[in-house]
Amino acid sequence: MNAAAIERKRNRLSRAYQLTSENRCMRNGYLSDDELPSKLQYIAKLLEYQFLPHYFGGPPSWRKFLRKFNGKRTLPDFCVIGPVKSGTSDLAVNIMLHPNIMTPLVKEFLISDPEEWRIFYPTERQKKDHAARRGLALSPFLAPYLHWMELTYNLSQAQPNTKIVLILRDPVKRVFSHWKWDVFISGKKRTSELPFLTSFPAYVDKALEVFPEYPMYTTTGFDVLQTSIYWKAASYWMECFGRENVLVLDVADYFSDSNGFLNQIYEFVGLPDFECPVSNNKINENPIVLPPPDEESMAKLSEFFKPYNEKLWPLLGKEFDWS
């Protein structure tokens, strides 16, 4: 594929993320009256959503129903897993640009039984045909489910030799992104009514105050501080799949050199190298603008996560350049 074809494919694969973000902006009060779509525009986007090649989550039911009649479906060949708000959406779309990758219908689905994942993956015939044309065909599972113990175990029982790539993010920066996402998903009204959500310092102080006795408010379904503690989760993935089948990377390297980062993944899972033009548009980036993090809150978080990170480094045999 040339650069123009790659960009067209990136736009197609990322369209669901864009439509989902636009809909959330509208529902959560982040659009002015002038920015709201007309009724005709809204209906047009609803119709467009029905026929997308890839979904962030929640595909149309009729699409899933029809896929039941196409033949026996496969399971993913490898997994790229991170904590929520660690850049997995942008990474997922760019991985799917590889010519040997067969795109799953959905990125994130809250199903812990791998056998129920098959509906989202290509059929055995489709995979065989793709491999005949390209020489190789692999399908990935790409989701922010680092801490989902049941899923980890169930997948290891179904496919114990699956290659697992764990994508970790500086835990302090991840918490800041988590706060911004909570503000966005909560909406303007709800955010203004919750004192611990209105500013990053208030959010951090409340999270530190209640940990671990009481779950901090969140809209993601993942606890704010617990989600940035990685060592035990990484250890469990290694326990289930074997250390030799688990590669752990720092997502900061992806944002500094995306092709170099992606080719580390491709080599690990058995794909040939692939270079594609770098896009300045991040997939699923928070559309609202909020104040940058204050130094005091970042220092508090850095001190909190220090002992947990010190347990992570011996497990990985290396250290990441985190604050």
- What would the pLDDT profile of 286-297 be if each residue is shown by its tens digit? 899 999 999 999
Domain boundaries, the chain: 1-323
Q: What are the structure tokens assigned to 127, written together? A: 């995979």
Residue type, 27: R
**82 in helix, strand or coil?**
coil
State percent of the chain over pLDDT 70: 100
Per-residue confidence band for 323, with pLDDT thresholds at 50, 70 and 90: confident
104-139 pLDDT, tens digit each: 999 999 999 999 999 999 999 999 999 999 999 999
- Mean pLDDT, rounded, for 60-73: 94
pLDDT at site 33 = 81
Percent of the chain topping pLDDT 90: 86
Helices (H) and strands (E) in the chain, counts: 13, 4
At CB < 8 A and 24+ separation, what contacts does 197-201 make? 199/291, 200/176, 200/290, 200/291, 200/293, 200/294, 200/297, 201/294, 201/296, 201/297
What DSSP string describes 131-185?
HHHHS--B-EEEES-TT-HHHHHHHHHH-TT-EEEEEE--HHHHHHHHHHHHHHH
Report residue 9's pLDDT band, with 50, 70 and 90 as the boundaries. Answer: very high
Q: Please tell me the distance from the alpha carbon of residue 197 to that of residue 51, in angstroms, as a whole number.
A: 37
Q: Give the model's confidence band at 36: pLDDT under 50 very low, under 70 low, under 90 confident, else very high.
A: confident
Query: In this predicted model, what pLDDT tens digit does every residue of 188-241 receive, in sequence order?
Result: 999 999 999 999 999 999 999 999 999 999 998 899 999 999 999 999 999 999
The answer to whether the CB of 301 falls within 8 A of the CB of 171 is yes
What confidence category does residue 279 fall into, taking pLDDT thresholds of 50, 70 and 90?
A: confident
User: Quick one: average pLDDT of 77-85?
Assistant: 96
Q: What is the pLDDT of residues 152-198, one digit of tens each?
A: 999 999 999 999 999 999 999 999 999 999 999 999 999 999 999 99
pLDDT higher than threshold 90 for residue 273? yes
Model confidence pLDDT, tens digit, residues 253-266: 999 999 999 999 99
Q: For domain 1-323, which architecture applies?
A: 3-Layer(aba) Sandwich (3.40)
Residues pairing with 123 in the sheet: 73
The pair of structure tokens assigned to 128 is 């065989």
Banded pLDDT at 244 (limits 50, 70, 90): very high
Share of the chain residues as helix, strand and coil, in percent rounded to the nearest 5: 50, 10, 40
Count of alpha carbons within 13 angstroms of residue 160, beta-carbon side? 4
Strands 163-168 and 246-250 turn out to be parallel
- CA-to-CA distance for 250 and 32, rounded, in angstroms? 38
Task: Check whether 280 has a pLDDT greater than 80.
Answer: no
- Residue pair 93/14 in contact (Cβ under 8 Å)? The answer is yes
- Provide the pLDDT for residue 35: 86
What's the confidence (pLDDT) of residue 13? 94
Compute the distance between CA of residue 83 and CA of residue 250 in angstroms, rounded to an integer: 12
* Dist CA 6 CA 54 (whole Å): 15
pLDDT given at position 127: 96
